[in-house]
Chains A and B, each alone.
Chain A
Amino acid sequence: MTALAALIRRDIKIALRVGGGALIGVLFFLTVVVLMPFAVGPDLALLTRLGPAILWLGALLASLLTLDRLFMADHEDGSLDLIVMSRTPLELTCAAKALAHWLAAGLPLILATPVLGLLLNLDATATSAVALTLLAGTPALTFTGMIGAALAVTLHRGGLLLAVLVLPLSIPVLIFGVAASQAAISGPLSFGTPFSILCALSLVSLVIGPFAAAASLRHGLD
């Protein structure tokens, strides 16, 4: 347990310090959201309608962007081999690394959402709905994305291949995330149904992600 806690502390520290790059995700999120009005026009009513979708898409792309670093940096300096060889079960280690990654890169996205909601003319209910769905949904993005990150590090291929492999897996999360936010803002469906499914997706990926990532690290790093 102490080993896992130490790993989480270490990963968060590395991600937040110079060279970590976790906060670049937030900057990217901000930039994507700022680009949207240039694409669809400065029509505030339209932006209000598209707001939840834009925020979700931006958060999805931003979390994808930082996934590359999840195993790559450790692989480059050799600490990934030590982690794989250690006596702690690799599945738990993967889960801890994903949790640290979510705390360092995913949580800041949610904290930035209220500010970005202002730019998109969303009211307080809408912004809090989007933030709540992001809070429930981004763990699913991190934990399924971890599978892609583990595959990418064992194949020495990152970037586009990672995106192509991970993005289709994140479509259900996007669907229910946006559906839940829309339901909270305008109805007519109840907020509870899509939100519970979103939580379910997160829980399922919490189980599957670490096992798949650990299997791919174990089979790939020899």
Chain B
Amino acid sequence: MTLIDLANPTRFLTLTARILPWLAAATAILLLVGLYQAAMAPDDYQQGSTVKIMFVHVPNAWLAMFVWGVMSLAALGTLVWRHPLADVAAKAAAPIGAAFTFLALVTGSLWGRPMWGTYWEWDARLTSVLIMFLMYLGLIALWRAVEDPSRAARAAAILTLVGALNLPIIKFSVDWWNTLHQPASVLRMGGPSLDRAFLIPLLVMAVAFSLLFVTLHLAAMRNEILRRRVRRLQMMQAGRRSA
């Protein structure tokens, strides 16, 4: 089973129909476990119980960047390999990524209010996530502005790859400007500085959110394929009627 075999939309549909229930079940179980562990995690000595926002905020922020990575791969699939499902994958991922980014911003601002005393701070990392949110919205606007999906796909692919250059700026902006947002504490040289009591629920939540993304993404791709089929049938019908 390679990526080429999935080029046939019908085969893709049968395969995803078989694995989607399992994925959804695994997502639900992991989310429940993660939320339970997060609720049971001890309070932080400094931040109190507000530290629990982290278990939702951090996976959202990771996914916000991860989804752009997935879209960049799909963009390469569109431009380089001309994979027939690559533009479906890219189009389906954009709204999901925008939702994760939005949730990262909202949970972050709810966390910032008790901790920093403000909902919003024009700090480097917050700002770059906000820029990423705007770029997600611009990408969705581009998808919606053009009727022909293959034409829109190539334009969106180029914009996605240009936007991917923004990802490293986000990741390292904390180190560059070093302002109010805390520096990276999980993925860094010398191992995580986070205590195990926080780290394990966080990792469980991260895996759960990633599975949630895969589930939603496959479901959205199915919808997009079916939507295109319905549209083609409608066009054929309209053509037959006018003929």
Contacts and interface: CB of A to CB of B under 8 A. Distances in A.
Tell whether A and B belong to one assembly: yes
A215 B152 CA distance: 14
A178 to B, nearest CB: 13
Given A157-B146, A165-B142, A151 B159 contact: yes
Contact of A161 (B79, B127, B142, B169): B142
Given A212-B161, A212-B162, A216-B158, A161 B134 contact: no
Contact of A208 (B134, B137, B159, B165): B165
B97 to A, nearest CB: 15
Interface residues of B, number: 22
Contacts of B159: 147, 151, 165
Interface string A196-222: 000000000000100010011001100
Interface string B148-175: 0001101100110111010001000000
B165 to A, nearest CB: 7
Nearest to A166: B138
Q: What is the predominant secondary structure among interface residues of chain A facing chain B?
A: helix
B3 interface: no
A195 B138 CA distance: 29
A44 interface: no
28 contacts: A147-B162, A151-B142, A151-B155, A155-B142, A155-B145, A155-B146, A155-B151, A155-B152, A157-B145, A161-B141, A164-B137, A164-B138, A164-B141, A165-B138, A168-B131, A168-B134, A168-B138, A169-B162, A171-B127, A208-B162, A212-B158, A212-B161, A212-B162, A215-B79, A216-B154, A219-B155, A220-B151, A220-B154
B135 interface: yes
For chain A, give the interface size range.
20 to 34
A216 B157 CA distance: 9
B135 to A, nearest CB: 5
Contacts of B154: 216, 219-220
A155 B139 CA distance: 13
Given A151-B159, A219-B155, 20 more contacts: A151-B155, A151-B158, A154-B151, A154-B155, A155-B145, A155-B152, A155-B155, A157-B145, A164-B137, A164-B138, A164-B141, A165-B138, A165-B142, A168-B131, A168-B134, A169-B162, A208-B162, A208-B165, A212-B162, A220-B151
